[in-house]
Amino acid sequence: MGKTILVTTKKHNYPIIIDFNLFDTSLSFSFLKRGDNVMIVTNKIIFSLYFKKIFNQLHNIGVKINYVILPDGEKYKTLVTVNIIYTALLKNLYSRDTTLIALGGGVIGDITGFAASSYQRGVKFIQIPTTLLAQVDSAVGGKTAVNHVLGKNMIGSFYQPNCVIINLSCLYTLSKREFSAGMAEVIKYSIIFDKKFFYWLENNINNLFNLDKTSILYCISKCCNLKAKIVYEDEYEKNKRALLNLGHTYGHAIETQLGYGKWLHGEAISVGIVLAALTSKQLNLLDNKEIIKIINLLKKCNLPIKGPINMNDKQYIKYIYRDKKINKNKINVILPLQIGKTIIYKNLSEKIISNAINENKNLII
């Protein structure tokens, strides 16, 4: 039933293995061999859920296993936390033949990837994403980063994993709020690239939230295929890969202003997608009927569509100027032209941004 998708880059290729019950067989870890040194990076909650199963499979192979447990939450996605991994590696005399395994959601994956890219100038690492958001987006494509108090994901690197293992059974232990947050990234893909996928989501939301196996496998495989294609075309985000940041310019501003972790990443991105759509409307680029369809799909997923009531346009703009797409102090934003088609809109004015934010505040939902 499962699927394997190959991510191809200039330097190396790696598989995304997608199926249920992947922690129940050593075959999932067949790329490791007896005597390999492995450091598993996780948090307390994920450790209690999955570590024993993974330990047993790795032990069967004959892998040398150690682990480090990080504090849980977006607010801990910092250089201070990365240093915990470095310290554990150094204390255990781990060298360049080490493989780091990121076992957790997007925060764990981003931190572990960054540590792998920088420890002794680079060691192998494996992504085992346990949340929907990480499975469809952050674990694939090699973006690694930590946050700074002045901006989200401002310190990082492009560093591809050696494998991504997506155990769909992890979704059974995911909270409804976390699942909804992941759906924001799923919907993002459909708005950027694939109108038919958007319509499929409209018709299959209940199946997805009920964790129907066929629907879940199709949805996550679809997103991973779209991500793999764009990574192949533009690994280092020089052009087309920037489209994957739909909603993120506004969403990151929300996360930074409120304090990391107050809103889940997907919740902030949901509002960011709406704000991007309203920005397109201000520029007469997007039909209002399309905006209504986008808003309705986000609402079906129990996602917010209005920004924080105590956050004004000036606060958004302050953080937008720290966005990674800024070039020569010009604001560049990903905007939808229609469902299934987006552009990189360059030199967006502050006035248009303010108008979109104020329209969002006045939305009647």
What is the CA 222 to chain-centroid distance, rounded? 15
- The catalytic position among 74, 235, 237, 267 is 237
List 152, 248, 281, 324, catalytic entry: 248
Catalytic residue, from 77, 152, 222, 252: name it. Answer: 252
User: Tokens standing for 306?
Assistant: 């209005």
To the query of whether residue 12 is one of the catalytic residues in this protein, the response is: no
Q: For residue 206, what is the enclosing H or E element?
A: helix 195-209
> Are 40 and 53 spatial neighbours (Cβ–Cβ below 8 Å)?
no
Catalytic residue among 12, 121, 176, 238: 121
Instruction: Specify whether 43 is catalytic.
Output: no
Closest by Cα among 287, 271, 73, 286 to 187? 271
User: Could you say which of 124, 152, 241, 324 is catalytic?
Assistant: 241
245 in active site:
yes
Residue linked to tokens 């809109």: 345
Instruction: State the angle between helix axes of 288-300 and 265-282 in degrees (0 to 180), rounded to the nearest 10.
Output: 170
Q: How far is Cα 138 from Cα 106, in angstroms, rounded to an integer?
A: 6
Residue 322 known to be catalytic: no
Six token digits for residue 214: 């066929």
CA distance 242 to 55: 37
Is 177 tagged catalytic? no
Residue tagged active-site, from 37, 153, 167, 245: 245
Q: Which of 43, 152, 178, 185 is catalytic?
A: 185
Asked if 11 and 37 count as a contact pair (C-beta separation under 8 A), the reply is: no
Choosing from 77, 152, 227, 324, which is the catalytic residue? 227
Known catalytic membership, residue 248:
yes
The residues, any chain, with a CB within 8 Å of residue 230's CB and separated by 6 or more, are 141, 240, 241, 243, 244
Catalytic residue (choose from 265, 267, 281, 290) = 265
Instruction: Give ∠ CA 233-234-240 in degrees, rounded to 5.
Output: 95
Q: Which of 143, 188, 222, 324 is catalytic?
A: 143
How many other CB atoms are there within 10 angstroms of residue 216's CB atom? Answer: 21
Q: How many CB atoms lie within 10 A of CB 240?
A: 12
241 is catalytic: yes
Closest CA to 101 of 131, 61, 129: 129
- DSSP strands (E only) in the chain: 3-8, 13-19, 37-43, 64-70, 98-104, 124-129, 143-148, 151-158, 163-167, 333-338, 341-345
Q: 358 an active-site residue?
A: no
CA-CA-CA-CA dihedral for 109, 318, 190, 216, to nearest 10: 30
- Annotated catalytic residues are 121, 143, 185, 227, 237, 241, 245, 248, 252, 265
